Amino acid sequence: MKIFIDTANIKMIEEINSWGILDGVTTNPSLIAKEGTDLKKCVSQIAKIVDGPISAEAISLTAPEMIKEGRELAKIHENINVKLPMCIESLKATKVLSSEGIDVNMTLIFSPQQAILASKSGARYVSPFIGRLDDIGQSGSDMLIQTVMAFRNYDIDTEIIAASIRHPMHVIEAAIAGADIATIPYDILKKMVSHPKTDEGIQLFLKDHEKSKK
């Protein structure tokens, strides 16, 4: 499973990239606003750091406007893909953008049927939101499993990005479901590294090493 970071924070991206495990980055308008930055400036900075796909979300509401905005975003760097929210206008825009070789990440996916339509329109990625479905008492994990199984049945090559990941267990659920990618917030990536028994083991080995020198 590929690992993306879900943030627009440059310092966090630099740090996680330095671990050598980062395959790409997703941003969204809320994450951009949180950093008080501008989308184009932010994604061009990210492209200098990470050698992998970077999602930049369009905010247009009609297909012609999405196509125009998508073309502009794609010009920023060859690794930029255009994130469009699942709706009829996005399907139309994706058909055009994908035919021009511009990758689209269809976001705000909450059902396998939405994912199937997104893949039919030519989306390179679909982003099922696990956490936000759990929030309303439905199973994000089940929705992800169904999406992966449906895509496998037809050898659909659209990549599935498990999104809206809220805790390390969601990462395990994404991996067991067979998602191609998990896009993970910074604090969860940090939590994934740690285990109390690992910390305890390191301390014990160091202590025993010191003893053996005496």
Residues in the site for ligand E4P, rule: CB under 6 A? Answer: 6, 26, 28, 107, 127, 129, 131-132, 163-164, 183
Q: Rg for the chain (alpha carbons), in Å?
A: 19
**Known active-site residue 40:** no
Scanning the chain, the segments in alpha helix (DSSP H) are: 10-18, 29-34, 39-49, 63-76, 88-99, 112-120, 130-135, 140-153, 168-177, 186-193, 196-213
d(CA 84, CA 93) in angstroms, rounded, equals 9
- Closest approach of ligand E4P to the CB of residue 185, in Å: 7
- Closest approach of ligand E4P to the CB of residue 195, in Å: 24
- Closest approach of ligand E4P to the CB of residue 157, in Å: 20
* CB of 6 or CB of 103, closer to ligand E4P: 6
| Ramachandran sector of residue 84 (left: φ over 0; alpha: ψ -120 to 50; beta: rest) | beta
- Closest approach of ligand E4P to the CB of residue 164, in Å: 3
* CB of 74 or CB of 83, closer to ligand E4P: 83
Long-range contacts of 134-138 (CB under 8 A, 24+ apart): 134/166
40, 75, 83, 95: the catalytic one is 83
* CB of 26 or CB of 98, closer to ligand E4P: 26
The three-state secondary structure class of 80 is strand
* CB of 47 or CB of 163, closer to ligand E4P: 163
What is the set of active-site residues? 83
